Amino acid sequence: MKNILKLTLIGAVMMTSFSGCLKDKGFENGEYGIQVIEKKAVSLPQAIGGTVSFALLSSDQSQVIAAPVFALETIGRQSSDVNVEFALAPNLVAADPSLTLLPADQYQVNLSGKIAAGQLLDTLEITIPRSSNLDPNAVYGLGLELISADNGFQVASNMKQVLIKITVKNKYDGLYEVTGTYRDVSAAGANFTGRYPLEYYLVTTGPASVNVCMEINGEIAPGYLFSNAGAGSYYGNFGSQVFFDPATDAISDMRNYYGDPNNAATGVGNPAAGSGAPNYAASNGRRVTLDPSGVNAYDEATRTVKVKYFMLQPSVVPGGPRAFFDETWTYIGPRP
């Protein structure tokens, strides 16, 4: 079953493109569209902004992006179809070093389009068969250029290119307000208290997994902030990764991000010396485990996560957890 991602601004596009577009000042002074009113043109209304962005769910199911919009610039409606042709424009992606070119084997697009008789616009459809194959940490780009039209229409030379940006997120991804309790039972922990409410950034790492990040010293990274005798502090080489069961939304596993040597270093720590599976202990011995007495699940109806977990560090507290966490994460909105 396909998930069709429709543009929410089609109505606005139609109004700006067709409500007297041959008369408005932006058209007449050549800011957009064709510049000779006796001629008829096909344009890309989204070329005015230059880009259109989509956030896909990380999924093994096919998803369809309905973009870009292509539209007629003419007086009245046409009694016959207008066929158009597109070409890929990788130069648009290359011009932005923050983008990764969407790999050719990760999407399907028919570069031929048609505006049916009596209609004023249509869209191309770009199919992403398995967004789970895409890197959730990348911003992908796909450039498209309108190159030809038939039935007496020409291409509007200054409204013919658009850059489509694509990111991949799972349903757990977002910004969350965090409330709860925390205690550290080590000798030093007598001075440690929680700083709730906190904000966590749940950052997609796969179809059903996230890094649990915070803003620490100006960096968004896996970590945990607390108060040490009233001053802000954090645990070095400690931050959580959460893995959900996509069938039930239960948390199936928690790991220390800094225990996996495959992860990148951050200002909070370096995973290079982490133990990896099965314990995912950081170089200082810190690791994360679930407390089985917790709910430990995501509730899709309320968009909340209830979770209890431990930080273990045997060199500091032998034989049991060093820190105890009992938290509720409440979805605020998309990550900035």
For the chain, the C-alpha Rg in angstroms (whole number) is: 26
Q: Taking all residues of the chain, what is their mean pLDDT, rounded to a whole number?
A: 89
Average pLDDT over residues 70-86: 92
pLDDT over 50 (residue 147): yes
Helix (H) or strand (E) holding 188: none
In this prediction, residue 106 carries a pLDDT of 97
Burial code (b: 16+ CB inside 10 Å, e: under 16) for 284-312 equals: bbbbbbbeeeeebbbeeeeebbbbbbbbb
pTM: 0.74
What contacts 95, CB < 8 A, 6 or more positions away? none
Rounded to whole angstroms, how far apart are CA atoms 169 and 203?
8
- CB-CB neighbours of 236 under 10 Å: 16
Domains (range + CATH), the chain: 3-169 (2.60.40.1740), 174-333 (2.40.128)
Average pLDDT over residues 37-65: 88
> Could you give the angle at the alpha carbon of 282 between the alpha carbons of 138 and 202, nearest 5°?
35
pLDDT per residue as tens digits for the range 173-194? 999 999 999 999 999 999 999 9
pLDDT over 90 (residue 15): no
pLDDT per residue as tens digits for the range 33-46? 544 444 799 999 99
What contacts 77, CB < 8 A, 6 or more positions away? 117, 118, 119, 120
Average pLDDT over residues 144-150: 96
